[in-house]
Amino acid sequence: MTASTVVPTRAYGRAMSRLLGPLALLLVSCSSEPAPEPPSGNPVIIPTTGTIRGGITMLANAGAERVFEGTFDNAPPAEPCTKEEVAKCKVRTCTGATSPTPGAPFDPGTITLTSPSVGSGVLPIKDGVGRLVQPGDLKDGEDVRFVSSAGFDLTAKAPTRVALGTFGGCSFGSLAACTVDGKAPTLTWAPGVEGDYVTMNLSPAIDGYPRVIVSCSFPAAGGIGKPPEAALAKLDRTAKQTLFVTMSRAPVVTGVSDRQTGVTASRYLPGGRITVQLVP
């Protein structure tokens, strides 16, 4: 045996086992768990339950105000735009400014809303519709409870705001129109929380008809959204488009038949609107 050869003794082996045992277990544990899948960036359909006849929307409007609106009718209103689903994005084609025809209103009773930011307030409803606007914001993840004297009791959570990144390389907050690859643009943001959704809405920058509106929603936790080319192909590439990014959560629903009531929570983001030109 040469001087450089080392033969471990049993005692040495036991000592090394005691020393390396926890590390070995850690290495085995780490290597046995699969790496988390990166977010796909594919659009999703925000889940809903049933058909909502009576609806309340609560909106945190970019920190400037909080808006609560209620619409209660027994039948869905006539929709002035046609709707279709393309690659899990919603596409609306509007040919005129005809206002929807409301259904027959029903009385939801007195609706009281409470939350840390709101305190306590009443959502006034007359002829099936009502609106309450307050200055100030809704905190990230804040619970707002809606209690009606007619029987429903629903609590909705405000979306947690995210910091927007870019859309196809275009920065948010820019006033000038930005050119974007119309085949594979990517929307990025700082990853948000589970249960929140980021929705990108593209519509003509100049008012007029006909107009096509494309909306694609993505899990906020992913931090990335890739609108499908099939949905973007519905837009007029010769016209500038307004990109408006919003946040929301799945509606909270209660009730049955024509008395289903739902609350949908949304948030507008500061600087979440830019003008883009999609190119082939």
All structural domains of the chain with their residue ranges: 54-279
pLDDT tens track, the chain, 280 positions: 444 333 333 443 444 334 334 333 232 334 455 666 778 899 999 987 666 677 899 999 998 999 999 988 766 555 678 999 999 999 999 987 666 666 678 888 999 999 999 999 999 999 889 999 999 999 999 999 999 998 889 999 999 999 999 999 999 988 889 999 888 899 999 999 999 999 999 999 998 888 999 999 999 999 999 999 999 999 998 999 999 999 999 999 887 655 678 999 999 999 999 999 999 8
Phi-psi region of 194 (alpha: psi -120 to 50; beta: other; left: phi over 0): beta
The per-residue pLDDT for 175 is 80
Please name the residue that has the structure tokens 């105000």.
65
pLDDT at 16: 33
Residue 15 confidence (pLDDT): 40
Question: Which residues, 6+ apart, have CB-to-CB distance to 2 below 8 Å?
Answer: none
Q: What pLDDT, on a 0 to 100 scale, did the predictor assign at position 235?
A: 95
Per-residue pLDDT at 1: 42
Specify the amino acid at residue 237: R
Q: Is 147 exposed, middle or buried (0-12, 13-18, 19+ CB in 10 A)?
A: middle
Cβ atoms 68, 56 nearer than 8 A: yes
pLDDT of residue 74: 66
Structure confidence at residue 174 (pLDDT): 81
The closest of 194, 195, 65 to 117, measured between CA atoms, is 65
Q: What's the whole-model pTM score?
A: 0.83
Identify the pLDDT of residue 77: 54
